[in-house]
Structure formats: C-alpha cells, structure tokens
Amino acid sequence: MRAVKQKLRQALSRRQNQHIVNASLTKSAVLLPIYYKQGQYYILLTKRTENVKDHKGQISFPGGAYEKRDGTLVNTALRECAEEIGLMADEVEVLGELDDTVTISSGYIISPFVGLIPWPYQFKIDSWEVEEIIEVPISALVSRGCLHKETEIIEGEAVTLYSYHYQDKVIWGRTANILNQFLDIFAQVMMEKQACGMR
C-alpha cells in the first residue's frame, strides 16, 4: 500500500493541472477519498438528498462551495468532508489534485483533490445533505461493462460524457468525468508497480 501511495502522489505531482478561472462561476472543491479494504482499493462517494439546492439525488464526491474562511480550495474540500460525512481533516492524507471541471447547469468550478483515508472509519452523516455513503471497489469500476460513453454536442463542441454503472447505482455528470481521470492515473500507477515487481 505504501508503494502505491507514493507512486500515486508522484503521478499527481507530475501533472500539469488545468485550472479554470471565471469570476462568473462559483468556486468549489471535492475530495476523491480512496482507501484500502480487504485486499483492494475503494473509492467513497455520497448520494445527495433531495433537500440540497443543487444536484439533488445525484451521486457525488463529498465537497461544496468555497468560503473565504477556507483560505484554499483543498481546505474547502476537507471542511465539507467533515460537515457532510464526519471525516476529519487530520484523518485525510491529501495526495494531489486533478483538473478543474465546470458544471454547466449550476455554474460551479469544481477543483478535485485526491486523498487517502483510513478504514475502518466511524463516519457521521449529515442526513440533511447526504442520503447514503457509497463504497465502490476500483476493480468494479474498471471491469468490463461498467463504463459507458456518449458523445454530445455542447455549445458547438463534441463532448464525451461518461457514466459508471455499479450494482443499482449510476455515477454520471462531472463526478464521472473526475472519476474517469483518476482511474486513468491509478491504472498507470498499478502498471508501474507491477513492472517494478517483475524486475
């Protein structure tokens, strides 16, 4: 696990992240939490309730809008994790960040951060915002038939839309795009690890 963590941190640090600056959009941040459980890596997501203002009922990463008191976007992601699922900031080992992405319908710039979290963990769900916590093994996300791709024309440009189907859950929208980028990086890390193990 330590070797994977180090390689993942290195892979994320080597990237030239795409940052979006647009004063008309609301800055926000999410955490993509990963953890090691029973011999494999998992990703934690949440299902939003119908109470929240935006993205009602959708599967997403814990996160939310930037507040001045946060100081940085990574602090936004960590604060929101604590508020939504009771995951304390000092329990998260932030490994790096992914590309910014924009939600067209609700007008957010999302800055995603990848963090390693402990397992097991005593989560405390804010039932107003979060309906349930969803644990998905990475092995399931990369299995055949899980990923679906569609192409749509948005503002004159062809855009690939991703969705992941796991059991009775469908992960789509910006969350699926963030997930797709992370899984590509994770796959490269695991290939490097296997190559090193063979030498």
> Do residues 75 and 88 touch, judged by C-beta distance below 8 A?
no
Q: Number of folded domains in the chain?
A: 1
Query: From the CB of residue 22, how many other CB atoms can be counted at a distance below 10 Å?
Result: 11
- For the segment 37-75, what is each residue's pLDDT rounded down to a tens digit? 999 999 999 999 988 777 688 999 999 999 999 999 999
- Please, what is the average pLDDT of the chain? 92
Among residues 106, 116, 151, 128, the alpha carbon closest in space to that of 37 is found at: 116
Mean pLDDT of 81-92: 98
Whether 187 is in a domain gets the answer no
pTM: predicted TM-score of the whole model, two decimal places: 0.93
Q: Is the pLDDT of residue 81 over 90?
A: yes
Q: Is the pLDDT of residue 125 over 50?
A: yes
CATH code of residue 104: 3.90.79.10
Whether 107 is in a domain gets the answer yes
Range of the domain at 106: 2-138
Whether 103 is in a domain gets the answer yes
| Rounded distance between C-alpha atoms, residue 42 and residue 26, angstroms | 29
> Do residues 59 and 47 touch, judged by C-beta distance below 8 A?
yes
Retrieve residue 1's tokens: 């696990």
Distance, C-alpha 153 to centroid of its chain: 25
Mean pLDDT of 103-128: 94
Whether 158 is in a domain gets the answer no
